[in-house]
Structure 1
């Protein structure tokens, strides 16, 4: 059976990382049977990044590559009816979600105001995690943020980037249905991966407040959540 390897769950969301949750949602929406293995150590993953899948002995990493593999190997029909313009817009949305990822991650590991609550939530839900592991992860992420650039921003400046991304996304999500019609696609799963990790996050960050101000984003998130929960 296909196995998805991704980060642990948090606050009722199947993966506390947007990319892993995206793949989880694609698998659920497509009705493909799979095992979900939660791990923290990504050192043995392709490119040392989560998520990845093992499908009939083949290891595939990177969420976009995984979705393409699933479509090719298993005939996923989620995106079958999309026009080229839909796929192009979905590609642009995915790149914007890459930017949103850094702000979301910053709000958890970098911002001193919210780090203690995040750390304690992880320890409550996953008591096998030690303080040493979490501190090592925080220090590792601090280096990533510095070299990527978001770590050189003051918190209000960082959140302004994410809130701007959410505002643009809110202009693209319809008031009913999904991105490209009445049925969700892999691009809706990608959006859900990030929105759910902000909307259901039980710590009130500026990023969560920014999402909550857009009723259509909340509706979209909760609609996908109901389909994959």
Structure 2
């Protein structure tokens, strides 16, 4: 039996991490039997990150590696897609995971009003009396990395302008069918819908979370993916 090690549910999503949600969606799409193990602590797993897939005495870390393993064991996530659609799918996945994701990070870790809600969810295992003290350095280091990456130097309004073309690209694809590449979900839906769900679920009512929640096309799409793969 495959075991997906993942962060617990949070903010109305199956997991507090969109990459864990992606892995969960891919496992359901694969048709293979699996079970779930929740933990708030990633330190004992590959590279200190989650999700991880536990297969007998082997542990596969990282959602991309999990996808590869599943495909090597029979999963066909992009069945029926043309070479052009496969290439576009890859681009959409990278857009979601290498750009949209970091907007979620800034929304959750960079917004001073949102951060306490996120901190008390992510680090609930740490006693409340010392939680702020312990997590202060973690947050400072993460935001320094976001400043180096560049997104951390933008205002909330500038970030919203930056991500709008991504959201529009998703919407444009969805005019052609219920999922990004036709009538059935594919690997791209697992990534993109997971990121959109994390955006919409961010607590505190940020400009980005409102933008996604108030978009009927995106919210209906997320609901379809959750029904098909959740």
TM-score range, shorter chain: 0.7 to 0.9
Q: How does 1:25-104 map to 2 (within 5 A)?
A: 25-73=25-73, 75-97=74-96, 98-104=98-104
Is 1:163–1:210's contact at 8 Å kept on the other side of the alignment? no
User: What's the CA shift for 1:114?
Assistant: 2.0
Q: 1:128 to 1:48 in 2, by over 3 A?
A: closer
Give the gaps of 5 or more residues in structure 1.
Answer: none
User: What's the CA shift for 1:158?
Assistant: 2.3
**How many residues are treated as equivalent by the alignment?**
225
SS in structure 2 at match of 1:13? coil
SS in structure 2 at match of 1:36? strand
Give 2:159's aligned residue. Answer: 158
Give the root-mean-square deviation of aligned CA atoms.
2.2
User: What's the CA shift for 1:48?
Assistant: 3.0
Give 2:168's aligned residue. Answer: 167
User: What's the CA shift for 1:140?
Assistant: 3.3
- The normalised TM-score by structure 1 is 0.86
- The normalised TM-score by structure 2 is 0.86
User: What's the CA shift for 1:181?
Assistant: 1.5
Is 2:107–2:202's contact at 8 Å kept on the other side of the alignment? no
Per mean C-alpha deviation after superposition, the further-off stretch among 86-95 and 162-171 is 162-171
Per mean C-alpha deviation after superposition, the further-off stretch among 149-158 and 84-93 is 149-158
Q: 1:157 to 1:85 in 2, by over 3 A?
A: same
Per mean C-alpha deviation after superposition, the further-off stretch among 51-60 and 188-197 is 51-60
User: What's the CA shift for 1:59?
Assistant: 1.9
Q: 1:129 to 1:223 in 2, by over 3 A?
A: farther
Give the gaps of 5 or more residues in structure 2.
Answer: none
Task: Name the CA distance, whole Å, in 1 between partners of 2:187 and 2:32.
Answer: 13
Q: 1:139 to 1:42 in 2, by over 3 A?
A: farther
Q: 1:141 to 1:84 in 2, by over 3 A?
A: same
Per mean C-alpha deviation after superposition, the further-off stretch among 219-228 and 37-46 is 37-46
SS in structure 1 at match of 2:173? coil
Q: How does 1:214-225 map to 2 (within 5 A)?
A: 214-225=215-226
Task: Name the CA distance, whole Å, in 1 between partners of 2:153 and 2:20.
Answer: 26
